[in-house]
């Protein structure tokens, strides 16, 4: 299949022999970096979304011009459920999140499914769309923003522990990922830290909008 490198300084379209539909990661044949395996057809659709959002003033091709950066923002990567997106908007408004960066296949307003759970919060929370989180993460880090992934991995730390230790600070942008696959490996590689919410029961994760809400309030209250 044809794939497109997600790194903004490469973006090579290349052929991969990863025909296994369950395969998630591939190595770019040009820059050698690992990235989420997406077909070039999907990439064309995402990049087309950028053009549409640009016409509506909802995206910048030069992220360095994005102003202002508030003390707490969030990246929403590949959230498939529009109702989850709407719930995230509503929580962001309540918790004082200054900016949402909607990325990948994440749906954008105006959509009636988003409005059903956002209850109009999409009109009060500043948001922008980017084809891939790296399009904004690299810029945010250059400008001194700490990027924190909310994802359970072998190296992730409990979020309450990071807050208690004082190892993270504002300005901060935290990332939540796809309901099934989570935050992409290339995004995890660019985050300053990776954290998770402690789970006391038999389940390993929460609904993404619920996890977003818990993290948003913890970060807002204790940073």
| Domain containing residue 90: CATH number | 3.40.1280.10
In a domain, 37, yes or no: no
Residue 51: per-residue pLDDT: 62
Domain that holds residue 107: 58-222
Residue 46: per-residue pLDDT: 74
In a domain, 5, yes or no: no
* CB-based contacts of 174, cutoff 8 Å, min separation 6: 72, 74, 75, 147, 148, 149, 150, 215, 216, 219
In a domain, 25, yes or no: no
Q: What distance lies between CA 16 and its chain's CA centroid?
A: 25
- The total of structural domains in the chain comes to 1
- DSSP secondary structure code for residue 63 in this structure: G
In a domain, 85, yes or no: yes
Residue 45: per-residue pLDDT: 73
In a domain, 188, yes or no: yes
Q: What is the pTM of this model?
A: 0.85
In a domain, 52, yes or no: no
Tell me how far CA of residue 162 lies from CA of 183, 185, 201, in angstroms.
19, 21, 22
In a domain, 29, yes or no: no
**DSSP states of 175-215 as a string?**
EE-BTTTBS-HHHHHH-SEEEE----SS-S---HHHHHHHH
196 within 8 A of 177, measured Cβ to Cβ: no
Residue 164: per-residue pLDDT: 96
Provide block-wise average pLDDT over 10 residues at a time, the chain (223 residues): 78 70 71 77 70 58 51 96 97 94 91 95 90 90 95 96 95 96 92 96 91 97 92
In a domain, 8, yes or no: no
Residue 55: per-residue pLDDT: 60
């Amino acid at each position: 299949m044809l794939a497109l490198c997600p790194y903004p300084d490469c973006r090579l379209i290349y052929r991969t022999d990863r025909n296994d539909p369950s395969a998630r990661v591939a190595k770019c044949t040009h820059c050698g970096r690992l990235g989420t395996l997406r077909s070039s057809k999907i990439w064309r659709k995402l990049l087309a979304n950028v053009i549409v959002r640009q016409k509506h003033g909802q995206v910048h091709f030069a992220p360095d011009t994005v102003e202002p950066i508030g003390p707490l923002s969030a990246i929403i990567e590949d959230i498939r459920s529009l109702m989850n997106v709407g719930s995230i908007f509503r929580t962001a408004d309540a918790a004082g999140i200054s900016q949402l960066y909607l990325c990948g296949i994440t749906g954008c307003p105006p959509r009636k499914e988003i409005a059903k759970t956002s209850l109009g919060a999409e009109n009060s929370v500043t948001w922008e769309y980017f084809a891939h989180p790296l399009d904004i993460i690299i810029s945010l880090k250059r400008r001194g923003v700490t990027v924190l992934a909310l994802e359970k991995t072998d190296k992730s730390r409990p979020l309450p522990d990071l807050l208690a230790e004082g190892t993270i600070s504002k300005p901060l942008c935290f990332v939540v990922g796809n309901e099934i696959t989570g935050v992409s490996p290339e995004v995890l590689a660019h985050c300053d830290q990776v954290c998770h919410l402690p789970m006391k029961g038999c389940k390993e994760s929460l609904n993404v909008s619920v996890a977003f809400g818990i993290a948003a309030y913890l970060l807002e209250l204790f940073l």
